[in-house]
């Protein structure tokens, strides 16, 4: 009799502990689900820009590239960044020079596109802070002269200067789209409006081109850029 009661007691207590444990488990998983809605790290995408290598090879320049990546933070917010390396002959109106340098851009993308179930495309706006270290090596230039009796072309053998240790920083406003064209592979295009914040100018020359920022104009500090990207998404979780 006593034995039976003791057995029942142990059994029920195990049951109750069991149910207690299972209860807590449920609560934990609930809270995870709730958290899931705020921080939703589903995707890490990385890839590269298609336009830079094509442009650099068609212009007979050295290889230029840009690596892009983004990490999903919430449903619509991504940390995004680009790293690029440029080696390009810039042929300007009077001056030809080689622009060589690296740049890094870091910021956010915000997706504004409501996807249908099963789709994963985005139309986004974003913001970047970017900085670049570069050198602009003057190759040749045409000296401004009313008189064209002698050639006014100055080439490598006379006083062309390599302006080194230059730098610039700027802000980019980004708009773009990313389209999942194959499973986990996205094609993207983005347009960028750049606002130069500061740049270290060379002596007796100007920063006419900054890698990553592109052409710098005389009269204002705005610039523009674009990229065509192909990115691969590492699937952290299977799609529901």
Partner 1 sequence: MIKRYNLILFVVFFSLIACEKDDICIEGSENTNRINITFIDYSNKQPKSIDLNSIRGIGIDSIIEGISGTNLKLPLKVNSSKTKYLLEFNQDIDTLVIFHKTIHYYLNRSCGYISNFIVKPDTEISKDYGWIKEISIENDSIFNEEKTNILIHF
The residues binding partner 1 (CB under 8 A) are 92-95, 116, 118-119, 121, 141-147, 149-155, 158-159, 177, 179-182, 187, 189, 191, 204-206, 208, 215, 217-218, 226, 228
- Give yes or no for a contact between 138 and 155, defined as CB atoms under 8 angstroms apart: no
Least distance to partner 1, CB of residue 142, Å? 6
Task: Please say which residue, 203 or 238, places its beta carbon nearer to partner 1.
Answer: 203
Least distance to partner 1, CB of residue 111, Å? 15
Task: Please say which residue, 12 or 142, places its beta carbon nearer to partner 1.
Answer: 142
Task: Please say which residue, 21 or 113, places its beta carbon nearer to partner 1.
Answer: 113
Measured distance CA(115)–CA(25) in Å, rounded: 33
- Give yes or no for a contact between 186 and 169, defined as CB atoms under 8 angstroms apart: no
Least distance to partner 1, CB of residue 150, Å? 5
Least distance to partner 1, CB of residue 95, Å? 6
Task: Please say which residue, 50 or 73, places its beta carbon nearer to partner 1.
Answer: 50
Buried b (16+ CB within 10 A) or exposed e, 1-25: eeeeeeeeeeeeeeeeeeeeeeeee
Measured distance CA(137)–CA(163) in Å, rounded: 6
Least distance to partner 1, CB of residue 215, Å? 8
Task: Please say which residue, 38 or 182, places its beta carbon nearer to partner 1.
Answer: 182
- Give yes or no for a contact between 104 and 82, defined as CB atoms under 8 angstroms apart: yes
CA angle 113, 115, 117 (to 5 degrees): 170
């Amino acid at each position: 009799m006593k034995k039976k009661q003791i057995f029942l007691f142990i059994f029920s207590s195990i049951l109750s502990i069991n149910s207690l444990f299972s209860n807590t488990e449920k609560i934990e998983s609930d809270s995870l689900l709730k958290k899931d809605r705020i921080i939703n790290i589903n995707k890490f995408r990385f890839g590269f820009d298609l336009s830079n290598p094509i442009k650099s090879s068609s212009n007979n320049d050295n290889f230029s590239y840009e690596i892009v990546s983004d990490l999903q933070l919430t449903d619509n917010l991504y940390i995004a960044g680009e790293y690029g390396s440029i080696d390009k002959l810039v042929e300007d109106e009077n001056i030809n020079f080689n622009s060589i340098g690296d740049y890094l851009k870091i910021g956010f993308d915000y997706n504004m596109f409501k996807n249908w179930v099963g789709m994963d495309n985005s139309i986004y706006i974003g913001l970047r802070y970017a900085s670049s270290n570069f050198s602009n090596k003057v190759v040749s230039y045409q000296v401004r002269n009313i008189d064209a009796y002698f050639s006014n072309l100055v080439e490598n053998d006379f006083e062309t200067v390599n302006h080194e240790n230059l730098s610039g920083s700027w802000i980019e406003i980004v708009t773009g789209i990313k389209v999942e064209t194959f499973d986990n592979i996205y094609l993207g295009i983005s347009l960028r409006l750049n606002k130069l914040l500061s740049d270290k100018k060379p002596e007796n020359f100007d920063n006419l081109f900054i890698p990553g920022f592109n052409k710098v104009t005389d009269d204002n500090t705005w610039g523009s850029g674009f990229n065509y990207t192909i990115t691969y998404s590492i699937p952290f979780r299977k799609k529901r």
